[in-house]
Structure 1
Amino acid sequence: MTKTAWVFPGQGSQTVGMEENLLDHPLARMRFAQAEEILNWSVLELCQGDEERLSQTQYTQPCLYVVETVLAELLLKQDNPPVLVAGHSLGEYVALYTAGVFDFETGLKLVKSRAELMSTAAGGKMVAMMQFNREELETQIAAIPDVVIANDNSPQQVVISGTPTGVDALIAQVKARRKVDLKVSGAFHSPLMQSAAAEFAEILADVTFNDARIPVLANIDPTPAIKAAEIKSRLVQQMTGAVRWREIGDYLAQSGITKVVEIGPGKVLTGLLKRTSANLEVKNVSRIDEFSY
């Protein structure tokens, strides 16, 4: 019997035109209209505009949330739900929506606030590193102040985050085949986001969560959760905590899951899983005509 998990990508997967295949569907049109009322700007215009503006955090995150939730909602109508869900950073909000933890409007308002707080964070730096010695990396992180692993994506791919001084010192000490500066304003998923996280925690405190209908693997704790209080507690920690995607992939591979479907633009998450979990069948769904997975 096939046991399927759905995973949802985060910031960095956005592409101009990612909404195009959805425009003829009534549900999608309704969601785009709802989103415009909540955001006071048009997701459709952003997705049909220029890549530079779409890549700005305050726009990227709501646009991805809307496109991915529409795809997930349409897939759920096929009566073939997953047994687990997870999302990478912003994608975790889509996973929670899919699991019934909150409705579309509530989720989008949270994402809007999160994106605005993150976009105004300053004074940090993030660098992606590929093909390195992990023991050497972890040793240097322990020795250098104000730098952490923000995204632990796979054994050989991480994103480090921290003060510019700390990040520069680390990348000077650790050899890697490739190092890429990320175009972000702050040190996301690090303790330097504490001020923004505290503001966001106050917003979250006033939002009612439901128990999940589908277990959710969280970025900061890659074990299944259903209870609303536990899910909210994990989400409060997400802005300053690491995205432990490597461990999420390990859990999927070891828990009896046989197929993983990445829902949203791009193939980042399935690409990671292909390299680390050969026993998993992986599939991407970014368009309505790809629904028969």
Structure 2
Amino acid sequence: MTKTAWVFPGQGSQAIGMGVDLLEIPNAKAKFEQAEQILGWSVVEICQSKEDKLSHTLYTQPCLYVVESILADLMRERGQQPDLVAGHSLGEYVALYAAGVFDFEAGLCLVKERSQLMDSAAGGMMAALIGFDRKQLEEKIQQTADVVVANDNSSTQVVISGTPEAVETVLSQVKTKRAVKLNVSGAFHSPLMATAAAEFEKVLESVTFANAKVPVLSNVEPLPAVEAGVLKQRLSQQITGSVRWREIMAQLPVEGISEVVEIGPGKVLTGLIKRACPNLTLKNISSLGELPTS
């Protein structure tokens, strides 16, 4: 029997126009309306904004959560179920929703708070490195204060995060095929987010988590867990902790997964998984037309 993992992308996968086709579905339209009441602004309008408001952290994260959650709901309505879930950074919130850990409203309230705190962060820098010597990179990071690997995406792609001076130092000392400075306001997934994480912790404490219906691979600890307390603790560490996606991918075949479905815009995660785990069957669900018919 095929074991399937659902994976959910995070910030960077958003696309203008995403989710608009879902308005044809009454249940989806109701979710968009519910989201507008919680957020105070329209996800549908932001996703169609010609000013590209969608690329701003404040809007990106809630929009991704809403669209991906609706797609997950529609997958379920068509008789699909995951055996395991995981999400990249913001995507972990959708994974927890899909696993029944909290309801749509609770998850969106968490994401709203998270996006506001991360959007208001300042003074940091993030940069993506593609094609590098991992040992050399790890050595330079150990020798440089105030910089960490924020996203360990694959054996050949990472994102580093820290103070501008520290990030520039590492970039100048590590040979890489390509390095790209990211257009973000702060040093996400690094200890420099400690103040934001402490504020977020207060909100997180107010939300009740249930045990997951299927195992979740968390960003900060890529081992399967279903216990509510464990999942909440792992999520509380996520704002300052590294996204260990390379290890999550390696865990998929260990858990007997043979099929992975990326639910959300783009094909970033399946692209990474294709190179890391070439024997897995990969599918993408990013629009109404890609949903299974039954």
TM-score range, shorter chain: over 0.9
1:19: Cα distance to partner?
1.3
1-structure distance, mates of 2:288, 2:53: 25
1:51: Cα distance to partner?
5.7
Q: In angstroms, what is the RMSD of aligned CA positions?
A: 0.9
1:44: Cα distance to partner?
0.6
Gap runs ≥5 in structure 1? none
Q: Secondary structure at the match of 2:45?
A: helix
**Per-residue CA shift, 1:4-53, capped at 9, x if unaligned?**
00000000000011112201000110011001100000001000113631
Structure 1 residues 81-230: aligned runs within 5 Å:
81-230=81-230
The residue type paired with residue 41 of structure 1 is: W
The residue type paired with residue 56 of structure 1 is: H
1:254: Cα distance to partner?
2.4
Aligned residues: 293
1:61 aligns with 61
Q: Secondary structure at the match of 1:72?
A: helix
2-structure distance, mates of 1:107, 1:61: 11
The residue type paired with residue 188 of structure 2 is: F
Q: Secondary structure at the match of 2:78?
A: coil
1:290: Cα distance to partner?
1.2
Which is worse superposed, 86-95 or 246-255?
A: 246-255
Q: Secondary structure at the match of 1:153?
A: strand
**Per-residue CA shift, 1:169-225, capped at 9, x if unaligned?**
000000111111111000000000000000000111111111111111000000111
2:253 aligns with 253
**Per-residue CA shift, 1:96-140, capped at 9, x if unaligned?**
000000000000000000000000001100000000000100010
Q: Secondary structure at the match of 1:158?
A: strand
1-structure distance, mates of 2:27, 2:247: 35
Q: Would you say the 8 A contact 1:15–1:51 is kept in 2?
A: no
Q: Secondary structure at the match of 2:168?
A: helix
1:76: Cα distance to partner?
1.1
Identical-pair percentage: 61
* TM-score, normalised via structure 2 length: 0.98
After TM superposition, what 4+ stretches of structure 1 lie above 4 angstroms from structure 2?
none
1:265 aligns with 265
Q: Would you say the 8 A contact 1:114–1:200 is kept in 2?
A: yes
Q: Secondary structure at the match of 1:224?
A: coil
2-structure distance, mates of 1:210, 1:97: 10
1-structure distance, mates of 2:50, 2:164: 29
Q: Would you say the 8 A contact 1:253–1:279 is kept in 2?
A: no
1:275 aligns with 275
1-structure distance, mates of 2:245, 2:129: 15
Which is worse superposed, 6-15 or 17-26?
A: 17-26
1:42 aligns with 42
1-structure distance, mates of 2:153, 2:137: 14
Matched, 1:24 2:24: yes
Gap runs ≥5 in structure 2? none
Q: Would you say the 8 A contact 2:101–2:228 is kept in 1?
A: yes
The residue type paired with residue 232 of structure 1 is: K
1-structure distance, mates of 2:68, 2:153: 20
1-structure distance, mates of 2:88, 2:272: 12
Q: Secondary structure at the match of 1:225?
A: coil
* TM-score, normalised via structure 1 length: 0.98
1-structure distance, mates of 2:15, 2:50: 10
The residue type paired with residue 119 of structure 1 is: D
